[in-house]
């Protein structure tokens, strides 16, 4: 086991960390995160983020694929999967598609179709990977989606011009999908319109900027590189601070009734 930030030896200061396990949420800052050995990955640094051990119905990962780095199969056997390219490029393949994904590129692969990736670029690629057990709905099914989020226009979020969002998947109109991925962007000074409370869980990776985030009853500073798991009914909301847009990618389960 080694550390994501490459730190070795003693620090020059006392040990401290911004990571928190709170009431209905978990914050993981990059400092102190470890690299995990995960079967199927080669020539990759893999850090496990959200997991069922923290209460999530999914697992997600931060992956640095070095030159030649690859995975021999993600998802399948009832597990739907998603990969997003934060930087660099990788080739992805499943039973339906073959594609070269550059920065902003993504693939969603349904639960009966594992996908593979390989970094053929000769340079590191940083990836965000998500896995979740699919909940079937009679008469519907999900399908492979490949695209680049940079080609998707922003939509005003809750009617606000300085807060905008993008959807990766067509779950708003297709009940075959039981989850979606979104990009949310707040301009400096922008915020949620209200403190949200809902059944759906989130896994959130912050891609740019900084802000103050309400989690349960605490306002907590978060910035680029931080990861948050948010459990059901955890009050949440944020506002952007500083001089650049505050942007994060997040998952959300949807389109299914409560199981009793």
Q: Residue 1 — pLDDT band, cuts 50, 70, 90? A: low
Q: Residue 3 — pLDDT band, cuts 50, 70, 90? A: confident
Classify residue 217: in a domain, yes or no.
yes
Residue 48 corresponds to which tokens in the numbers above?
């496990």
Q: What is the pTM of this model?
A: 0.96
Instruction: Specify the pLDDT at position 172.
Output: 96
Instruction: Report the candidate in 46, 210, 33, 29 with the shortest Cα–Cα distance to residue 128.
Output: 46
Q: What are phi and psi of 68, to 5 degrees?
A: 85, -5
CA distance 223 to 228: 11
Classify residue 244: in a domain, yes or no.
yes
User: Mean pLDDT, the chain, as a whole number?
Assistant: 96
Instruction: Specify the pLDDT at position 180.
Output: 98
Instruction: Specify the pLDDT at position 7.
Output: 76
Range of the domain at 100: 16-253
Answer whether residue 5 shows pLDDT above 80: no
- Tally of structural domains, the chain: 1
Mean pLDDT of 245-258: 98
Answer whether residue 198 shows pLDDT above 60: yes
Classify residue 27: in a domain, yes or no.
yes
- Can you list the alpha helix ranges (DSSP code H) found in 77-206? none
Domain CATH for 216: 2.60.120.10
Q: What are phi and psi of 52, to 5 degrees?
A: -60, -25
Classify residue 39: in a domain, yes or no.
yes
Instruction: Specify the pLDDT at position 200.
Output: 97
pLDDT per residue over 217-247, tens digit each?
999 999 999 999 999 999 999 999 999 999 9
Q: Are 237 and 196 in contact (CB under 8 A)?
A: yes
Classify residue 259: in a domain, yes or no.
no
pLDDT per residue over 119-177, tens digit each?
999 999 999 999 999 999 999 999 999 999 999 999 999 899 999 999 999 999 999 99
Classify residue 9: in a domain, yes or no.
no
Instruction: Specify the pLDDT at position 4.
Output: 79
pLDDT per residue over 67-115, tens digit each?
999 999 999 999 999 999 999 999 999 999 999 999 999 999 999 999 9
Q: Are 177 and 171 in contact (CB under 8 A)?
A: yes
Mean pLDDT of 28-48: 95
Classify residue 219: in a domain, yes or no.
yes
CA distance 86 to 102: 9
**CA dist list (Å): 23 to 8, 54, 67, 171, 210:** 32, 11, 40, 29, 22
């Amino acid at each position: 086991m080694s550390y994501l930030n490459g730190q070795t030896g003693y620090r020059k200061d006392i040990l401290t960390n911004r990571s928190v396990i709170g009431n209905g949420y978990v914050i993981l800052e990059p400092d102190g995160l470890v690299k995990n050995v995960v079967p199927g990955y080669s020539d990759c640094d893999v850090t496990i983020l959200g997991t069922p051990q923290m209460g999530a119905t999914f697992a997600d990962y931060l992956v640095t694929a070095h030159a030649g780095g690859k995975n021999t199969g993600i998802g399948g056997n009832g597990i739907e999967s998603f990969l997003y390219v934060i930087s660099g490029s990788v080739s992805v393949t499943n039973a339906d598609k073959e594609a070269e994904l550059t920065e902003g590129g993504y693939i969603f692969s349904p639960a009966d179709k594992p996908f593979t990736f390989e970094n053929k670029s000769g340079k590191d690629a940083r990836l965000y990977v998500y896995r979740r057990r699919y909940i079937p709905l009679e008469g519907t099914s999900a399908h492979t989606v490949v695209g680049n989020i940079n080609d998707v226009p922003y939509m005003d979020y809750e009617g606000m011009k300085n807060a905008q969002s993008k959807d990766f998947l067509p779950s708003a109109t297709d009940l075959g999908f039981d989850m979606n991925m979104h990009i949310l962007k707040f301009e400096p000074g922008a915020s949620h319109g209200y403190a949200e409370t809902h059944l759906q869980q989130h896994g959130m990776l912050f891609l740019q900027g900084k802000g103050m985030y309400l989690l349960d009853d605490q306002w907590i500073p978060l910035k680029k590189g931080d990861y948050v798991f948010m459990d059901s009914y955890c009050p949440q909301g944020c506002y952007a601070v500083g001089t650049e847009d505050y942007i994060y990618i997040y998952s959300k389960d949807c389109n299914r009734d409560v199981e009793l």
